[in-house]
Structure 1
């Protein structure tokens, strides 16, 4: 695994395209994404305002209802930093809104999650790691190494 160049978060037109799925969730059309994506409602660490972002689900644990997500833009992504500051948030998956608490995962867990994701979605994983600035030869070890460089978060349902 080689790091080519980490991408900067999108700006301009690319940012509008990245944020377009938020509007679909607001129109109650999040079900179009199935269980592959979720809408994360979080609190801005500086402004205290409600923020939203659509992110891909790396893994969903049906036994405890938790979701694992990853910050492809690294630890400086606003939503990731906001979750570290205020772990209580909510997600919308399909048509359900679930209050959750965010738990950052360690690098070993991140590597394991990335390796499992690559096994389940090999083409998407190769495109994703290339987009994030990594060059891999496609082995599980390479994907595990990539996962150890990225911040993963478990979103666990809160008890009402």
Structure 2
């Protein structure tokens, strides 16, 4: 069974070449090449908490609901990730999905909902789910129950397009 004890820490944000590699998709989005990522990535704009400056991060889409124009993303670096904290301060923002911009509002999902999302994600992308859990220091035995439990520790955010939502 996956669990998280109090000594487990979220991974530190990347530095050096690893940070540069993770930021490469931002350049693709800026060049109008967002459609290359299909429905797997989106570009999130977020205002810096201290500076108010526009920041951007490319995030994997964990779940996409076209009828509701709703995207769910996970914070692989936990609740201390800058983009996550910035959205807490200012949940209304913009994303780019493909080449199309959307005004969205962030909704921070409770652990039970995160557990369900992670279990569904693991069924669709088992290897990626195992890597994400290992990266975050969450033990899984590859069973649905262990992914369900791991999902309770991962901060998930649903981004609903203006005029839509649940």
Find the counterpart in structure 1 of residue 99 from structure 2. Answer: 95
Deviations 1:33-86 (A, max 9, x none): 110110001111111000000000010112211001110110000000000000
Matches within 5 A, 1:72-91: 72-91=76-95
Which stretches of structure 1, 4 residues or longer, exceed 4 Å deviation after superposition? 2-5
Find the counterpart in structure 2 of residue 6 from structure 1. Answer: 10
Shift of 1:122: 1.0
| Corresponding pairs, count | 160
Matches within 5 A, 1:18-33: 18-33=22-37
Shift of 1:135: 2.2
Does structure 1 conserve the Cα–Cα contact (< 8 Å) formed by 2:139 and 2:150?
no
Shift of 1:2: 4.4
TM-score (norm 2): 0.92
Deviations 1:2-31 (A, max 9, x none): 456532110111111111110010001111
Deviations 1:82-131 (A, max 9, x none): 00000011111111110100010100000100000001111211122112
Between the aligned partners of 1:92 and 1:154, the Cα distance in structure 2 is 15
Matched, 1:148 2:152: yes
TM-score (norm 1): 0.95
Find the counterpart in structure 2 of residue 34 from structure 1. Answer: 38
Find the counterpart in structure 2 of residue 49 from structure 1. Answer: 53
Structure 2: tracts of 5 or more residues without a match? none
Deviations 1:115-158 (A, max 9, x none): 00001111211122112222211011111111100111110001
Structure 1: tracts of 5 or more residues without a match? none
Does structure 2 conserve the Cα–Cα contact (< 8 Å) formed by 1:5 and 1:134?
no
Between the aligned partners of 2:44 and 2:126, the Cα distance in structure 1 is 25
